Amino acid sequence: MLCEKHLEHATSPVGAVEAALAEIVTENFRGAQDEFDITASISDRLEDYRKPENILFFSWSNSPDPQYIPLRPVFERLENSPHRDQLMASLYRWLYGSASKVFDAFGFDEAKNVYTWRKEWYAEARENGEDVDVEGDVEASDPAKVISYIRDSERLALKDAHAIDAIHSIADEKLRSAFANARQMYAATRRIKLPSMSEECRRILDDAAYYMDSYPVPALGISHWRDDPIVAWFDEFCQEQFESGSTCRAPIILCFRPEDTAFFLQIVAALPGLVRTVAGLSEWTRFSLELENASNYGNR
């Protein structure tokens, strides 16, 4: 993996390895635009944390500016399909499942979690005599109002041959290809295997990342449309992250010993799959925007 060109401009062995990783990332994007600004890096410390002895950290991070995939334009193009709800449920699960493998995604489950926490917090505040508008701020964004194909996606999603047959029934060639690519991407992500850290390295990582007191910034939000409860909580969660001033963790951080070659090679083996998944999600981000622009919704 390492060769002369990586060593030429590197100021340290870690720098040479990082250059090699960057090349793997670039090669596997195959010229496609990365909408998430993914960075794969190797370092011997995590920012402000004291440098541990004989330890390396692999970090995989995304841009702090999240992307969003609205599914309404796809839903409306399947108006005449007898499999519309099942196809949309499947698409949601394929995109959300793929995204969750490579970074933090924000969908129905995350909206429910934030909603539940906020509702409990407001109820407690009201009991303590504070003036809070529970109904206005919380009930208006109840995830129970999310469209059914997302809310019931686990039950509605198609499996195996049923999914393939339903995809083949899509009349629009470009849309049919996009569905097929989403399904293939999801299947490929299930084969991505990052190495498991030893208990010692896990303790070191927990200690090293202690100062990172904020969750990773979600790289992607997925919902039916921009005015639904998922987007309401997605926007609020990201805004709170930004305003907190906290240091957010990278979605993937692994800790290992430099002499643990097998561990590092497992990272290298997983990297192409991670990158190709991001490339596929980037393509879907652009495709959904293309469909949205063509729909000319305005304020509808």
- 35-80: per-residue pLDDT in tens? 999 999 999 888 767 778 899 999 999 999 999 999 999 999 999 9
pLDDT average, residue stretch 164-184: 98
Domain of 112?
4-295
Q: Phi, psi at residue 263, to the nearest 5°?
A: -60, -50
Residue 260 within any structural domain of the chain: yes
C-alpha–C-alpha distance, residues 83 and 7, integer Å: 55
- Residue 60: beta bridge partners? 40, 252
Q: Phi, psi at residue 294, to the nearest 5°?
A: -70, -25
Residue 246 within any structural domain of the chain: yes
Q: Are 105 and 222 in contact (CB under 8 A)?
A: yes
Residue 92 clears pLDDT 60, i.e. is over it: yes
Residue 274 within any structural domain of the chain: yes
Residue 7 clears pLDDT 70, i.e. is over it: no
| Lowest pLDDT segment from 179-188, 245-254, 268-277 | 245-254
| pLDDT tier at 30, thresholds 50, 70, 90 | confident
Whole-structure pTM over 0.85, yes or no? yes
| Segments in 9-158 forming alpha helices (H) | 13-29, 72-77, 84-102, 108-127, 134-137, 148-151, 153-156
Residue 300 within any structural domain of the chain: no
Q: Which of 3-12, 27-36, 117-126 has the highest mean pLDDT?
A: 27-36
Percent of the chain, pLDDT > 70? 91
Residue 287 within any structural domain of the chain: yes
Quote the pLDDT of residue 12. 67
Q: What is the largest CA-CA distance in the chain?
A: 68
Quote the pLDDT of residue 119. 85
Percent of the chain, pLDDT > 90? 71
Q: What is the dihedral of CA 45, 49, 50, 56, to 10 degrees?
A: -20
| Segments in the chain forming alpha helices (H) | 4-8, 13-29, 72-77, 84-102, 108-127, 134-137, 148-151, 153-156, 160-168, 173-189, 199-208, 229-244, 261-295
Q: Are 266 and 193 in contact (CB under 8 A)?
A: yes
Based on the structure, what is the number of domains in the chain? 1
∠ at Cα 117 (113, 118), nearest 5°? Answer: 115
Q: Which tops the pLDDT comparison, 1 or 80?
A: 80
C-alpha–C-alpha distance, residues 188 and 261, integer Å: 25
Pick from 155, 166, 288: nearest CA to 224: 288
Quote the pLDDT of residue 2. 47
Quote the pLDDT of residue 145. 95
Residue 98 within any structural domain of the chain: yes
Residue 48 within any structural domain of the chain: yes
Residue 138 within any structural domain of the chain: yes
Which amino acid would we find at residue 53? E
